[in-house]
Amino acid sequence: MKRRDTGGSALNRARKLGFSFDGRALTGIEGDTLASSLLANGARLVGRSFKYHRPRGVMTAGSEEPNAMVEVLRDGSFHPNIRATMQELHQGLEARAQNCWPSVRRDVMAVNDLLSPFLGAGFYYKTFMWPRTFWEGLYEPLIRRAAGLGRLPQSHQDAPHEKAFAFCDLLVIGSGPAGLMAALAAARAGADVILAEEDRQMGGRLLCDAGQIDGMPGGTWAAGVLAELTDLPNVRLMPRTSVFGAYDGGVYGVMERVGLHMAAPGRTPRECYWRITAKRAILATGALERPIAHPDNDRPGVMMLGAVASYWHRFAVDPGRVVVFGNNDHALATAKALAADGMDIRAYIDPREIAADAPFKTYQGEVIGTRGRHGLHSVTLRHQGRETRLEADTLALSGGWNPSLHLACHMNGRPVWDAGIAAFVPRPDMVPGMAVVGAAAGQFSTHAALMTGAQAARAALADLGRSAPDTPLPQVEDAPYALTPLWQVQAKGRAWLDFANDVTTKDVAQAAREGFASVEHMKRYTTQGMAPDQGKSSNMGALAVLADATGGTIAGTGTTTFRPPFVPVSIAALGAGGYGASFAPQRFTTSHAQTRRMGAPMIEAGLWYRPSYFPQATDRDWRCACNRETLYVRHAVGVCDVSTLGKIDVQGPDAARFLDFVYTNTMSSLKPGRVRYGLMLREDGHVMDDGTCARLADQHFLITTTTAAAGEVMRHLDFVQQAYCADWAFRLISVTEAWAQFAIAGPLADALLGHLLGDVPDLPFLGCTPVTLGGVEGRLFRISFSGERGYELAVPARYGADLFRQLVALAEGLGGGAYGMEALNVLRIEKGFVTHAEIDGRVTAFDLGLQGMVSAKKDCIGKAASQRPGLTGAARLQLVGLRPVDRQSEITAGAHLYPCDKPAKATYGQGHVTSVSYSPTLQSWLGLALVENGRARHGETLRLDDGLRGLRTDVEICNPVFLDPDGGRMRD
């Protein structure tokens, strides 16, 4: 193969591009794909096959390519399974063959091909049965090393990718004659049209067909239409764009190659993952030419006839001496046209009787073999009872055409068999709002493509309520398409069906013999159609061979299920913008900047970033800081930003009624200016969340949630309001973001407030009141999550940063300071207060010892369900405290608990540890745990076993309230 001196509609011959393949420096031309440039450089061998490591070359010129998958180096990493037919050439492109060692020409694993008699379908299911333990340790690693499609890069993917949305009236998928005609008709009617084409150039087969439209070459007509579409403001042309999935509601998954063809894309996204919502869609994806299964049909140099034509016309690739093996009129016509254009076609072979009017030799016969170690040298054919060998560089196959209808099947619609073209065609309305036109619908002539494209556009416009202007159909051929199906040549030797996964006709026949006669079973047993090309060139052939082997019909055998994605898509693009810091939104409190200035390491809580602790130079480690901060609260005063707690405003005449409905306890009896601890259940009776409920005024409540469950509680309350009490006069809204709120806790909390407010309001425990701070309206709550006398002070968020700064300064002046999450955790464990470590979604109020909070006087969400058998009683895991028998012996959260005299086996499990901390107040490790019948077992000793960390120690079950059990410190 070589480059022709003239031609090549896709090429800009003025610009040469240097690239390398397998370390070989080569030169291509701007406009080339990697595949076309390799062919033009005579590089027919581009890779090794999946299982047998057979030499493989380029077969097609499109996204259906099963063979020419290579590794491309970019962005400091290599990317496997890049289809050379889809990778545009750019200066400096580095690519290499995959599945071979040490080189693609001398691949030692090619020995597999000699072992092929033992490596048929399902061989490893049968061969590697014994001994059982060898599978994971030995067999599978060996098989993975010997077979496979590329290697995964081990580095992080940090090249930019993008996600985007688009909406349109009409999405036209494919820009061949049918797609262009549909887009033109719809665009002229003023509809918003998106025309997506996976190739760099629009025009589809018009770019390489020899036919005329309106008396001009098809490519010229296409260029004229595209020029008109480009000028219309209601049209978006999207080349390099593959529509890979059809989903509910007219949503299509679409991948646009944005920077993959650039030599230095910089921060340009490599790809953009679009979600396009279209009111109507027209599928004009054309058809895929199918190969013929004859012996040794996988040799480099064996290509599809359409691909040979495409490389000839678009990329000026001269395929050398060509033998064409076809079974249809289109193949013969194409061969004649190519010969007339100067291609060296040595012979045309067809099992049908053909007229001898061609400018090349014709044979009524079949190809029964090929030769050539790393590339085709000759073709052996059988005709008139004789075998003839023809010297050839290229064998061009054309077994007919399969409509490219995959997208139409993405909602589980099944196509129907059309015996006239020996192919499956789509039914109407397989995807709501989508029409299939042209070759994708089995209408193979250009005339039919244009006509069905225009008709579908008119129908879509009518659906959209638009009138369609008269768009005359161009004059064009309407040649009939005739073929005699030929799925496999009966001859000795292996004939490939699925090139990408190395599946032969024998494998399919064997599957049928062994009982895998359903097409879905055959697929999984042989792996046919399960490679990156998803069997685009093999599905039809395989099911035809299966039908033959089982004595059934192709229509009766049916197809496998076509699922998204239509073409391989990169995970990096699907996850665009969703990794690193962008994995989830980051939420920062108003005190964030000050907290960072104080050197606090931040931890994520929900989406919030909260300080873990505030280090000082004298701290040996984090625990020193934690101990110090804990003791601030126990002995002086500590300040903590608690703005992250969910804050929900509930107002209205029926607000109290609503709160009684969603809380287990009664809120309607709460007096204005008072706060009550509350518990909320899910509808299934398990605890959803806990928090406080403050009555700010008669019809105005402010409830708080835990940080982690704020969103869940808001959603729950919205649901209850909308589903169960939509006619009640109340409304709720989140005010979390509007307020900055700080805990001020410790015996000197009042002293700090005195500095701040002048007069400290005389608030009882669980009281609340409005306060004014230098003219700023705030709210003061006397509540405590530490067990000490404490307050929470809230101000509008714009003042949060300054208030925090001043609170910390005041606290430090009183011998205290800021405290972080570690100290907060110690403080609450000392008091036995629960968080979502304990409220893990499986516990009931009974389990937490809070059954007394479920009012007997009223109903509430979840109450009935919480009374089901099994949700209370001695068999439940109940909240307890834990202390190690040796108080200084570390205990760990997540550890399991067992009787001291039993082994650490699930059978003997007594429960698990939910939270632990070291208490500087009590000079002991403390834990909270959920233990079977735990409340009745205080004083009992269990064995704590943390298999993950290798820790084992004896612990004593006790009351979960370790400090100040009667609550005097926070109440008085």
Partner 1 sequence: MIRLKETSAIAQLRLPTLADCTLRVLPPVRITSIAPYPGQVEALRARLGGFPAPGGVVTLQGTDLVWAGRDLAFAFGDDLPDGLAAHCSMSDQSDGWCGFALQGAGAQALLARRLPFDLRKMASPGSARSVMDHLPVLVLRRASDRFEIWVWRSMVQSALAHI
In the complex, the residues that contact partner 1 under the rule CB under 8 A are 163-167, 192, 275, 277, 577-578, 581-582, 584-590, 607-608, 649, 651-653, 722, 726-733, 735-739, 756-758, 773-774, 776, 795-803, 806
CA 633: distance to chain centroid? 47
3-state secondary structure of 247: strand
Residue closest to 579 by CA, chosen among 932, 63, 157, 64: 157
Rounded to whole angstroms, how far apart are CA atoms 489 and 508? 14
Q: Which residue shows structure tokens 């064998």? A: 395
Identity of the residue numbered 114: L
634: CB partners within 8 A, 6+ apart: 746, 788, 827, 921
Task: Write phi, then psi, for 493 (nearest 5 degrees).
Answer: 120, 165
Q: How far is the CB of 629 from partner 1 (least distance, A)?
A: 24
CB contact at 8 A, 109 and 53: yes
Rounded to whole angstroms, how far apart are CA atoms 823 and 636? 14
Q: Which is nearer to partner 1, 245 or 301 (CB)?
A: 245
Q: How far is the CB of 85 from partner 1 (least distance, A)?
A: 29
Q: Which is nearer to partner 1, 131 or 775 (CB)?
A: 775
Q: Which is nearer to partner 1, 589 or 919 (CB)?
A: 589
Return the HEC string of 415-475: CEEECCCCEEECCCCCCCCEEECHHHHCCCCHHHHHHHHHHHHHHHHHHCCCCCCCCCCCC
Q: How far is the CB of 806 from partner 1 (least distance, A)?
A: 6
Q: How far is the CB of 932 from partner 1 (least distance, A)?
A: 40
Q: How far is the CB of 380 from partner 1 (least distance, A)?
A: 56
3-state helix, strand, coil in the chain (%, to 5): 25, 30, 45
Q: How far is the CB of 250 from partner 1 (least distance, A)?
A: 11
Rounded to whole angstroms, how far apart are CA atoms 309 and 332? 12
Q: Which is nearer to partner 1, 477 or 777 (CB)?
A: 777
Q: Which is nearer to partner 1, 143 or 735 (CB)?
A: 735
Q: Which is nearer to partner 1, 2 or 700 (CB)?
A: 700
Q: Which is nearer to partner 1, 443 or 692 (CB)?
A: 692
CA 84: distance to chain centroid? 24
DSSP string, 484-549: ----B--SSS-BEEETTTTEEHHHHHHHHHTT--SHHHHHHHH-TT-STTTTTTTHHHHHHHHHHH
Q: Which is nearer to partner 1, 115 or 584 (CB)?
A: 584
Identity of the residue numbered 645: L
Q: How far is the CB of 46 from partner 1 (least distance, A)?
A: 37
Q: How far is the CB of 325 from partner 1 (least distance, A)?
A: 48
Bridge partner list, 743: 640, 792
Q: Which is nearer to partner 1, 5 or 248 (CB)?
A: 248
Q: How far is the CB of 43 from partner 1 (least distance, A)?
A: 40
3-state secondary structure of 791: strand
CB contact at 8 A, 305 and 334: yes
Q: How far is the CB of 382 from partner 1 (least distance, A)?
A: 58
Q: Which is nearer to partner 1, 69 or 709 (CB)?
A: 709
In order of 772, 799, 884, the CA distances from 776 in angstroms are 5, 8, 49
Ramachandran assignment for 834, one of left (phi > 0), alpha (psi -120 to 50 degrees), beta (any other): beta
Q: Which is nearer to partner 1, 166 or 358 (CB)?
A: 166
Q: How far is the CB of 432 from partner 1 (least distance, A)?
A: 18
Q: Which is nearer to partner 1, 278 or 834 (CB)?
A: 278
Identity of the residue numbered 609: Y
CB contact at 8 A, 508 and 501: no
Rounded to whole angstroms, how far apart are CA atoms 325 and 491? 15
Tokens representing 838 are 């304990």
Q: Which is nearer to partner 1, 613 or 730 (CB)?
A: 730
CA 620: distance to chain centroid? 44
Residue closest to 440 by CA, chosen among 476, 490, 402, 467: 402
Q: How far is the CB of 163 from partner 1 (least distance, A)?
A: 8
Q: Which is nearer to partner 1, 342 or 577 (CB)?
A: 577
Q: How far is the CB of 423 from partner 1 (least distance, A)?
A: 37
Q: How far is the CB of 794 from partner 1 (least distance, A)?
A: 11
Bridge partner list, 772: 777
Residue closest to 274 by CA, chosen among 406, 434, 162: 162
Q: How far is the CB of 58 from partner 1 (least distance, A)?
A: 35
Q: How far is the CB of 653 from partner 1 (least distance, A)?
A: 8
Residue closest to 677 by CA, chosen among 762, 789, 747, 782: 782
Return the HEC string of 325-353: EECEHHHHHHHHHHHHCCCCEEEEEECCC
Rounded to whole angstroms, how far apart are CA atoms 851 and 867? 11
**What is the CB neighbour count within 10 angstroms for residue 755?**
15
Tokens representing 21 are 């393949």
Q: Which is nearer to partner 1, 116 or 651 (CB)?
A: 651
**What is the CB neighbour count within 10 angstroms for residue 543?**
27
Tokens representing 513 are 């013999």
CA 881: distance to chain centroid? 43
Q: Which is nearer to partner 1, 103 or 586 (CB)?
A: 586
Q: Which is nearer to partner 1, 223 or 639 (CB)?
A: 639
Q: How far is the CB of 5 from partner 1 (least distance, A)?
A: 42
